[in-house]
Structure 1
């Protein structure tokens, strides 16, 4: 099982700016835990997400000398991808492609058609520079805007991405609208129909819902799950009331109960948990 820790997602909607040195200390603590991937920052407009305006400075302060964790940077356009691609230490570049037209406009200021064009350009950039593109299918379990949604629509998006030779796709809950049933249904369908693609689950949930959603993803065959310590996060572009990420501690608890060997340094995890209290005050 691959666990993806998402402090970038957790911090982006905070009302206060987390000092750069504190971000660095927190991320370095997370790098010692043994997560597969760390969603550490984002190359986006500082006007859009002021919290992440120091991503390049944060990256410079990370100690990657003794970690197996791979870095993931989120971008919203080709320009951001070009910035991320300049850094040899970033193997993953993530792009949010929405199955909701309304959310695509709100999140990246472009239509779905335009977003697909950018995905194509970013994929070409990733191939040239030895990166891997991770496409997050935002509103992958429904949307609050009345836009069309169905598992078949998610499948159609996936088919277009497969044609671009994109191999890592993460349907994303965004607003916490998924249920265990819808999670299991969607991922079973995707995994059966697209065996060459690695699928991740990027889910949001209220605290009481987290364990059931993790179990549903595992039952469906998902082997890559995103979370954030203490369940902070939520997309400020999606709604005023943010539904947090799956708490990493709940994911770990659930997976251990399912007899999944996570190979994490739990002492380092407890250090990171303690430090998270300073970040998310």
Structure 2
């Protein structure tokens, strides 16, 4: 089995971004502050994107000012979708990671960032240079990583090609993202093992979307294939507002914790603070 350390990435940004009613800034910050106490490796806390595209995230700067990072081991990740967003994100010393959604579906890349795949890769190269200059780490989310609903060409070779391109420009962390929930144990196992074998220096993770009935088999397939980096969201809220209407939600953090507990894996999380965050989440998700 893998000797890679376990990294759990909690994604309140992903959970909140699709909620239409605006969540007050102080409430967002209070919730994220509770998550910061739990001990996750990373908190995906906000995004520097157009407020027209994702209105819920228009207060990311204000939320950041209210976060208490004095007693947490968690690092902060912010999502960006273009160079302008990256230029703003790198100004904040509190942020360690910038996350960029890079689709290997031409249709979805256009829908998500109004650019072609080739244009998006140019943007990635510029953002990577910016990250290096500002001591930030770029995390690439390969969206539509397990297939797409648009009929765009897709196979494991296309995925591997783009992982190779990212590695070539110095990207070290890539999350295979199941934007619309089409992953299954077979393709998770196949893709993860093949990409890991082809690109051993890449820290490869999964950002899976799932229905409640399939989430444990997906978690198990990723774990058995050697994955040690998991994105999830408390209670499985969220999904991708740009993908399609009937959202397939994020994998719930409690499903991952339950699975790891069954495997007798020590997560190192403070479960008292976790329970507190779970209870507080009712103020956000109702």
5+ residue gaps, structure 1: none
Cα distance in 2 for residues equivalent to 1:274 and 1:212: 27
* TM-superposed deviation, 1:208: 1.4
Cα distance in 2 for residues equivalent to 1:261 and 1:186: 26
Cα distance in 2 for residues equivalent to 1:229 and 1:77: 27
Alignment TM-score, normalising by the size of structure 2: 0.97
Cross-structure match for 2:57:
52
Cross-structure match for 2:152:
147
The Cα offsets for residues 48-107 of structure 1, whole Å up to 9 and x where unpaired, read as 000000000000000000000000000000000010000000010000000100000000
The Cα offsets for residues 225-267 of structure 1, whole Å up to 9 and x where unpaired, read as 0000000111111101111000000000001111211000001
Cross-structure match for 1:244:
249
* TM-superposed deviation, 1:152: 1.2
List, as ranges, runs of 4+ consecutive aligned residues in structure 1 with deviation greater than 4 Å.
none
5+ residue gaps, structure 2: 1-5
Cross-structure match for 1:4:
9
* TM-superposed deviation, 1:150: 0.9
The Cα offsets for residues 119-149 of structure 1, whole Å up to 9 and x where unpaired, read as 0000000000000000000000011111111
Aligned counterparts, 1:156-175, within 5 A? 156-175=161-180
Structure 2 residue matching 1:118: 3-state secondary structure: helix
Q: 1:36 aligns with which of 38, 41, 50?
A: 41
Structure 2 residue matching 1:107: 3-state secondary structure: helix
Cα distance in 2 for residues equivalent to 1:175 and 1:8: 18
Cα distance in 2 for residues equivalent to 1:272 and 1:144: 35
Cross-structure match for 1:188:
193
* TM-superposed deviation, 1:215: 0.7
Q: Does 1:232 align with 2:222?
A: no
Cα distance in 2 for residues equivalent to 1:270 and 1:133: 31
Q: 2:109 aligns with which of 104, 112, 126?
A: 104
- Number of equivalences: 281
Structure 2 residue matching 1:280: 3-state secondary structure: coil
Cross-structure match for 2:3:
none
Superposed CA RMSD:
0.6
